[in-house]
A and B are shown apart, each in its own frame.
Chain A
Amino acid sequence: MKVLFFGSLREQLGTGELNTALPDGVKTIGQLLQSLQSQGDAWKLALGTGNVLFAVNQDMVDENTAINDSDEVALFPPVTGG
């Protein structure tokens, strides 16, 4: 699956895009957020703030939204446009 990062998250993680298989046992985007934090200290720091928004296939969703391998998933900080 494709996981995109934007804004300060992209900068903190040093990448805007991750291509990865859906980890075992991960069924929701909230679980994916938890799972990605095990990739290292930078990931834990950036993603463990409790202040991350989710999009699946370019729609804003909540953490309980189911995901599968063919989805485009994005994680980003609260938006600041306008």
Chain B
Amino acid sequence: MISISVQEKDFDVGEEYRQLQSDDTSAGANIGGIAIFTGQVRDLTENPLKFMRLEHYPGMTEKSLQQTAEQAEERWPTIDIRIIHRIGDLAPGEQIVFVGVSSAHRDAAFSACEFSMDILKTSAPFWKKEQHVDGASGWVDAKDVDQQRAERWQDSE
């Protein structure tokens, strides 16, 4: 099963993990492993960051994340995939993104989790704008390394 959420409110990794531990058919007995990735706001700027503003394209965002999870589901024998992405104003240290995958075996869980993050980074319509403590602000540029990480899934598993 796939679960997608785009939300302002924070998420509880423990609660998401418990959701991943049980599956519909057998109270979790098919699940051999769960891989979880969470991302949070960094402050690597020389000018101290007050918060990061996350803008998105309502409707397309959910559709894009759903398609990414479906692609992961087709490529690996996953059981459940849960993706949460936050929007709005997020301070340094706050959680932005959650990707969790349950599977019978760890290789599918690891791969589907990493794939989902890499594809999300280059295809889900989110944009970050840095708002600094001194009042300055600026849009975050896309990184070549993210594009490269997404492209490597085109010819390998």
Residues of A within 8 A of B (CB): 4, 6-8, 11, 55, 58-60, 74, 76-82
Q: Tell me the complex Cα distance, A55–B146, Å.
A: 20
Q: Are B120 and A55 closer than 8 Å at their CB atoms?
A: no
Q: Are B124 and A7 closer than 8 Å at their CB atoms?
A: no
Question: In the complex, how many residues of chain B place their beta carbon closer than 8 angstroms to a beta carbon of chain A?
Answer: 28
Q: Are B142 and A82 closer than 8 Å at their CB atoms?
A: no
Q: Tell me the complex Cα distance, A81–B122, Å.
A: 8
CB-nearest residue of chain B to A58: B60
Residues of B within 8 A of A (CB): 39, 54-57, 59-60, 63-64, 85, 96-97, 117, 120-129, 139-142, 146
Contacts of A8 in B (CB 8 A): 127, 139
Q: Are A80 and B60 closer than 8 Å at their CB atoms?
A: no
Contacts of A76 in B (CB 8 A): 57, 125, 127
Max count, chain B CB within 10 A of own CB: residue among A55, A58, A81: A81
Contacts of B139 in A (CB 8 A): 7-8, 11, 77, 80
Contacts of A6 in B (CB 8 A): 55-57, 125, 127
